[in-house]
Amino acid sequence: MIIPAVNFHLLKPCNARCRFCFATFRDVDGELAVDDALRVIDALRDAGAEKLNFAGGEPTLHRHLDRLVAHAKRSGLVTSVVTNGFKLDRLLDTHAGDLDWVGLSVDSADEAVEVELGRSRGDHVRRSLALADRCREEGVRVKLNTVVTALNCREDMSAFVRRFQPERWKVFQVLPMAGQNDGDVETLLIDDDTFRAFVERHAPLMAEGLGPVAERNDDMQGSYVMVDPLGRFFGNATGRHVYSAPILEVGVEAALAQVGVSTAKFEARGGRYAW
Residue 35 sits in a domain whose CATH number is 3.20.20.70
In a domain, 275, yes or no: no
Active-site hit among 3, 6, 10, 14? 14
273: in domain: no
* pLDDT above 70 coverage of the chain, percent: 100
134-170 pLDDT, tens per residue? Answer: 999 999 999 999 999 999 999 999 999 999 999 999 9
Annotated catalytic residue, options 5, 21, 140, 259: 21
In-domain check, residue 226: yes
- Does any domain span residue 131? yes
Q: Does any domain span residue 274?
A: no
- Concerning whether 153 is annotated as a catalytic residue, the answer is no
For this structure, is 14 an active site residue?
Answer: yes
DSSP string, the chain: ---SEEEEE--S--S---TT-S---TT------HHHHHHHHHHHHHTT--EEEEESS-GGG-TTHHHHHHHHHHTT-EEEEEE--TTHHHHHHHHGGG-SEEEEE---S-HHHHHHHTS-SS-HHHHHHHHHHHHHHTT-EEEEEEEE-TTTTT---HHHHHHH--SEEEEEE----BTTTTTTSGGG---HHHHHHHHHHTGGGGGGT--EEEE-HHHHTT--EEE-TTSEEEE-TTSB-EEEEEHHHH-HHHHHHTT---HHHHHHTT-----
Q: Given a cut of 70, is residue 1 above it in pLDDT?
A: no
pLDDT in tens, 91-115: 999 999 999 999 999 999 999 999 9
Q: How many structural domains compose the chain?
A: 1
Where residue 2 falls among pLDDT bands split at 50, 70, 90? confident
Average pLDDT, the chain: 97
Res. 9: pLDDT tops 90: yes
Domain that holds residue 179: 5-268
User: Annotated catalytic, 18?
Assistant: yes
Does some domain include residue 194?
A: yes
